Amino acid sequence: MRGLDKVLMEQTHQIGDYQVLSVLGQGASSTIYAVMDPRDNHVYAVKRVVRHAPSDQRFIDQALNEHEVAEKIDHPAVRKSFKIIRRRKLVKLTELLVLMELVDGMTLEIARPQSIEETVVIFHTVAQGLDAMHKVGYVHCDIKPNNILIGGDNGVKIIDLGQACKIDTIKERIQGTPDYIAPEQVLRLKITPQTDVFNFGATMYWTLTSKHVPTLIPKKGEKILRPEEREIDEPRQINPDVPPALNALIMACIEIEPRDRPKSMEDVKNRLEVVYHQIESKKNGETGANKRLA
Task: Mark which of 48, 66, 100 sits at the end of a domain.
Answer: 100
pLDDT over threshold 70, residue 111: yes
With a CB cutoff of 8 Å and minimum separation 6, the contacts of 115 are: none
Residue 231 amino acid letter: E
Boundary residue ending a domain (100, 129, 162): 100
Residues 8, 143, single domain; the answer is no
pLDDT value of residue 286: 53
Q: Output the average pLDDT for the chain.
A: 89
Domain boundary among 100, 127, 144: 100
177 and 81 fall within a common domain? no
Alpha carbons 12 and 23: distance in angstroms, whole number: 9
Q: What CATH number is attached to the domain comprising 229?
A: 1.10.510.10
The total domain count for the chain is 2
Residues 96 and 112 in one domain: no
- Tell me which amino acid residue 124 is: H
pLDDT recorded at residue 88: 81
CA distances (Å), origin 185, targets 45, 127, 172, 192, 292: 30, 20, 10, 10, 35
pLDDT tens column, 246-287: 999 999 999 999 999 999 999 999 999 999 999 998 887 755
- Do 55 and 180 reside in the same domain of the chain? no
Residue whose C-alpha is closest to residue 84's, from 74, 95, 92: 95
Query: Do 283 and 206 reside in the same domain of the chain?
Result: yes
Say whether both 179 and 250 belong to one domain: yes
**Is residue 138 pLDDT above 80, yes or no?**
yes
Confidence of residue 151 (pLDDT cuts 50, 70, 90): confident
Q: Do 112 and 93 lie in a common domain?
A: no
| Whether residue 76 sits in one domain with residue 28 | yes
Residue 287: count of CB within 10 angstroms of its CB: 9
User: Do 74 and 128 belong to one domain?
Assistant: no
Q: What is the pTM of this model?
A: 0.88
Strand stretches in the chain, DSSP E: 14-15, 18-26, 30-37, 42-50, 81-89, 92-100, 106-107, 138-139, 148-150, 157-158, 165-166
Q: Identify the residue with better confidence: 4 or 45.
A: 45
Are residues 66 and 111 located together in one domain of the fold?
A: no
User: Are 282 and 207 in the same domain?
Assistant: yes
* 70: CATH: 3.30.200.20
Range of the domain at 110: 106-290
Are 259 and 113 in a shared domain?
A: yes
Alpha carbon distance 103, 47 (integer Å): 13
169-216: pLDDT as tens digits: 999 999 999 999 999 999 999 999 999 999 999 999 999 999 999 998
CA–CA separation, 63 vs 271, rounded Å? 33
